[in-house]
Structure 1
């Protein structure tokens, strides 16, 4: 590549990095901040709801059915939707109910049946944190905005690494891997933006990809491809034939990513006498389901009991469907049944949430979040210090043809991440029909 071509490519990538960063930096900042807070959900909730969670182990527990009856005696108009026995001997049991069209958790002492308290879903702090982190609390529009932010952050990482690469400066460390703290203000701000950005780039890419798996567009399509690629769920999942149904497990229960598209079997109606919740809990214990599981109750005459385990480690995940009349296991889907890509994704998601490796996992990701926040803040300060009065401060648009390498990169990003492709079309239309046509706007964007 000639020096002219190289210079054109560098200027093009710099300009795109500048604008992408300026536009999405606020969203990255908000996602990073909320993600850093969400990492410590277990500790924060244990502190906030300690009065609900903790009970004294006094020996034998009363049956789950009696615990549920106690709740229904207190709330006769409630509908029970789920039951969580608790993962430790000193942890309360939880009965999930619907009251006045609102999901509520009723905490029960499993040793004597006393009701400890109740907590509406809408009063849980991390319901809001989760909603903000996943969709900015804006529903489908917010979900797409989060996905777009994540995808363009990948563009920022790739273009940033290209700009950072130390051309012709062998064995240079300062300004590349270590900030030059004794240089002038602009150089210091540049290094405090670039160096943390380089250090966090790999970890941030990991968080983006694992986070994208939960998005409503790209994530949903990847999930469909992963579960409908010709192999589907392995036959060993089913006891008997796989069900022919359009109902998926995610429609009836909150389950792990790999099990969300698992078809839901139906119960074989036999005399309309369902088995007791006591039998379901006993089955769960007998087959070794991780004690973090919840039992989701059937909602129709041919519905099933669903066991959904949300353990800290991916290897303990389980989604199990049980016939409500016979108590027979109809489907048993666990980590060992996942395809290799499913296992990788399951592990990636638990790491993303700071669960897989406990406190060490949380600390590493928190440091990573601090690095991202530092790169954003110092990047904005750097731009503000350098910005001239007459335009936004973007690098001048390079003369001549756009570098082929950059065009290929954007085409690949647009194909792999369709929302990036759509946004590129919008950007080019704005550039062609607005920015280039209006002199003041053209000057402002330094085009």
Structure 2
């Protein structure tokens, strides 16, 4: 945020002439503008992210009736539970089944329907001890997020404004790493400690807090970009070029094109029962929580996949012939490319599920820290206004710092900025916007000065 005062906090500007060729004046001005213009987007991202962190626990409270049941004496066959769910939703198409992974958990039977948006499903929650359908909810994505978590997720991702809204989160993720690295350079390169009261104390809090959470903020910036609308394409291209894409079961074995997030096929279960398929998968080593994707059409296979995203990650999968029960192919998480594993772990850690509650607490602390730094930054900006009895804005660091840079250094900076602008388009467009605003402000001030002469 606005640690543009890092050197100004202790001595007057006139007493601190910048060394010729120093990048510090340029960093101060850039950090100032990022704090002023990107700060609101970072604030919304941090606040909505903070709301999202504990939504799994919140859902278990809000949807306790659907998600949990009293523990009974013996569970009904899984196929009977699926049949009960199909009777409750006769106009929907069966897609997947998630047996409860705890004694008090319901079985989730997941359906598609033509009127649902892509990646949205109807999920029936079935009591495994009685086969009673305890309720249905519209769920979202591979995590089967309920309505509350879906609403907060869409708020964090795009402010409920569709693809246009996603620009806000991409802007925040694109600039967050620049803000963090710039702040670290400014703080580490300060000439004397920023101690005292008022603005100096705020500066110390702002910089010390930022330094403490810098690594996590950089991680959130990088993983956030993988989900973004435009920079995400760049990440996908890089992963493809490095053969780091997430592998899939051979199409000839699984033929699971109908099991994708946007498919509304499936539902024609023939041959082996779901119970038999589950037992075969267990015998193939797929323990823990699993999801069973039913055949999309005659001749297709069941696909059973582990869905444990906490550490250690369990994401093995197997394709099973519904007629013979033969395991046609298996895919082990251990065989994933390093890049695919890192992507999986990065996404899960970003969502707060990789290490469970400690992961959630860490993210919550970092979100609160970022919110505090933004507030302190704006407060420091207010302290920098010309007089305390006016509503004038705080002064940015003086313009023209780039003119003092050696030409080779300036050319290198321009080249680096152009590369990042190309691969992070939202960063590039907004950088041009900052430059236009800065130029307009400079010309306006120059015109006023000339008019006063």
Q: Same fold (TM over 0.5)?
A: yes
**Among residues 303, 306, 330, which one is paired with 2:303 in the alignment?**
306
Q: Distance in 1 between matches of 2:448 and 2:328?
A: 64
Q: Distance in 1 between matches of 2:131 and 2:400?
A: 73
2:430 is the alignment partner of 1:423: yes
Q: Distance in 2 between matches of 1:106 and 1:239?
A: 30
2:161 maps to 138
3-state SS, counterpart of residue 428 of structure 2:
helix
User: Alpha carbons of 1:332 and 1:249: their partners in 2 closer, same or farther (altered >3 Å)?
Assistant: farther
User: Alpha carbons of 1:304 and 1:430: their partners in 2 closer, same or farther (altered >3 Å)?
Assistant: farther
1:4-403 superposed matches below 5 A: 4-7=19-22, 9-98=23-112, 101-102=115-116, 103-121=121-139, 124-169=147-192, 175=194, 180=195, 183-229=196-242, 251=261, 273-301=270-298, 303-311=300-308, 312-313=310-311, 315-388=313-386, 393-398=395-400, 401=403, 403=405
Q: Distance in 2 between matches of 1:47 and 1:208?
A: 31
Which shows bigger deviation, 88-97 or 409-418? Answer: 409-418
How far is 1:73 from its partner? Answer: 2.3
Which shows bigger deviation, 363-372 or 71-80? Answer: 71-80
2:6 maps to none
How far is 1:407 from its partner? Answer: 3.6
Q: Distance in 1 between matches of 2:419 and 2:92?
A: 52
Q: Distance in 2 between matches of 1:88 and 1:246?
A: 28
Is the Cα–Cα contact under 8 Å of residues 71 and 106 in structure 1 kept in the other structure? yes
Q: State TM-score, norm by structure 1.
A: 0.80
Q: State TM-score, norm by structure 2.
A: 0.79
Q: Distance in 2 between matches of 1:361 and 1:441?
A: 54
How far is 1:303 from its partner? Answer: 4.8
Is the Cα–Cα contact under 8 Å of residues 107 and 125 in structure 2 kept in the other structure? yes
Runs of at least 5 residues in structure 2 that lack an aligned partner in the other structure: 1-16, 141-145
3-state SS, counterpart of residue 125 of structure 2:
strand
3-state SS, counterpart of residue 109 of structure 2:
strand
Q: Distance in 1 between matches of 2:376 and 2:269?
A: 66
Q: Distance in 2 between matches of 1:14 and 1:57?
A: 61
Q: Distance in 1 between matches of 2:136 and 2:261?
A: 25
User: Alpha carbons of 1:435 and 1:187: their partners in 2 closer, same or farther (altered >3 Å)?
Assistant: closer
Residue correspondences, number: 413
3-state SS, counterpart of residue 124 of structure 2:
strand
3-state SS, counterpart of residue 313 of structure 2:
helix
User: Alpha carbons of 1:306 and 1:252: their partners in 2 closer, same or farther (altered >3 Å)?
Assistant: farther
Is the Cα–Cα contact under 8 Å of residues 290 and 317 in structure 1 kept in the other structure? no
Is the Cα–Cα contact under 8 Å of residues 34 and 132 in structure 1 kept in the other structure? yes
User: Alpha carbons of 1:220 and 1:409: their partners in 2 closer, same or farther (altered >3 Å)?
Assistant: closer
Q: Distance in 1 between matches of 2:30 and 2:448?
A: 16
3-state SS, counterpart of residue 107 of structure 1:
strand
Q: Deviations over 1:390-432 (max 9, x none)?
A: 5553222125626436445534532453332233344445655
Is the Cα–Cα contact under 8 Å of residues 238 and 330 in structure 1 kept in the other structure? no
Is the Cα–Cα contact under 8 Å of residues 193 and 375 in structure 1 kept in the other structure? yes
How far is 1:301 from its partner? Answer: 4.2
Is the Cα–Cα contact under 8 Å of residues 86 and 93 in structure 1 kept in the other structure? yes
How far is 1:274 from its partner? Answer: 4.8
Q: Distance in 2 between matches of 1:326 and 1:115?
A: 30
3-state SS, counterpart of residue 142 of structure 1:
helix
Q: Deviations over 1:82-138 (max 9, x none)?
A: 211111122111112346724322111112211222223386200011112222222
How far is 1:55 from its partner? Answer: 2.1
